[in-house]
């Protein structure tokens, strides 16, 4: 069974270090986990990130991380999902995982009456319905695979302040317009509603076992994060 955890609102660095440590410690018997979280405001710059895409970050911290891709923004009102999966055990390729994350997002949005699709030239999900917002990006993807296991993941804009995206070139694209679900619906769904539908669609797409939602023990989260910090410093 896949374990799904609601981490609620957390600072980015604690969660990043914890999922990195979990990936390093897991073995062939470790459960696959999906972490759903909402982050405090932060810009994250991927491994190939270029400084030129940071325009005016101001008082929002910038963290250099070990995922693929360029710079993006995380903040309250956004659903961030980290699939911590043993890809070799599940016989899932990296491209398969990206496609599944995109497909699950498209299916979730469709459930709320929003038409969207991935793009062949740039990972993520974009609006396809007519009107001035067509082509705007609603979900961003950045992954890392280590020892055959995935971490990092996808960020879906639900009901947030999009202004910080104007301080960067989102995902390395100058002028990329971002959009959120709240702008497209008369009644905005809750973060939990979006998370539950998305996770259900992701499990179905990847043909993974049914999920059990569990909280992440506070002590475990703190311990994983602290251990990774020690390794990074040492």
Supply the range of the domain harboring residue 199. Answer: 2-228
The answer as to whether 159 is a domain residue is yes
Is residue 233 a part of any domain in this protein? no
Residue 213 lies in a domain: yes
State how beta strands 33-39 and 2-10 pair.
parallel
pLDDT for 1: 77
Per-residue pLDDT of the chain (234 residues; tens, 9 = 90+): 799 999 999 999 999 999 999 999 999 999 999 999 999 999 999 888 888 999 899 999 999 999 988 899 999 999 999 999 999 999 999 999 999 999 999 999 999 999 999 998 889 999 998 677 889 999 999 999 999 999 999 999 999 999 999 999 888 888 889 999 999 999 999 999 999 999 999 999 999 987 889 888 888 888 998 989 888 886
CATH number at residue 89: 3.30.930.10
Residues with catalytic function: 171
Separation of first and last alpha carbons in the chain: 35
Q: Which residues contact 132 (CB under 8 A, 6 or more apart)?
A: none
Q: Give pLDDT, residue 233.
A: 80
In a domain, 110, yes or no: yes
Number of domains in the chain: 1
Among 160, 182, 144, 6, smallest CA distance to 73 is for: 160
Structural domain includes residue 10: yes
Q: Does 97 fall in a domain?
A: yes
Answer yes or no: is 234 within a domain.
no
User: Got the DSSP string for 18-73?
Assistant: HHHHHHHH--TTSPPEEEEEEEPSEEEE-TT--GGGB---TTS-EEE-SSSSSEEE
Confidence at residue 118, expressed as pLDDT on a 0 to 100 scale: 97
Q: Is residue 172 part of a domain?
A: yes
pLDDT of residue 234: 65
């Amino acid at each position: 069974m896949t374990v799904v955890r609601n981490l609620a609102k957390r600072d980015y660095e604690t969660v990043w270090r914890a999922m990195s440590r979990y990936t390093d410690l897991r073995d062939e018997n470790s459960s696959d986990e999906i972490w759903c979280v909402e982050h405090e405001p932060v810009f994250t710059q991927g491994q190939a990130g270029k400084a030129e895409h940071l325009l005016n970050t101001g008082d929002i911290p910038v963290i250099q991380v070990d995922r693929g891709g360029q710079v993006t923004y995380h903040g309250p009102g956004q659903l961030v999902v980290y699939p911590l999966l043993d890809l070799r055990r599940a016989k899932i390729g990296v491209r398969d995982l990206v496609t599944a994350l995109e497909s699950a997002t498209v299916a979730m949005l469709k459930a709320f009456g929003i038409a969207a699709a991935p793009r062949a030239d740039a990972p993520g999900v974009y609006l396809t319905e007519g009107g001035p917002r067509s082509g705007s990006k609603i979900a961003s993807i950045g992954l890392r695979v280590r020892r055959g296991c995935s971490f990092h993941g996808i960020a879906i804009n639900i009901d947030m302040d999009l202004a910080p995206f104007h301080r960067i070139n989102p995902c390395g694209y100058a002028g990329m317009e971002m959009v959120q679900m709240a702008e497209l619906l008369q009644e905005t769904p809750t973060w939990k509603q979006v998370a539950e539908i998305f996770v259900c669609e992701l499990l179905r797409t990847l043909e993974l076992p049914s999920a059990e939602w569990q909280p992440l023990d506070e002590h475990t989260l703190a311990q994983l994060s602290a251990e990774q910090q020690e390794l990074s410093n040492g």
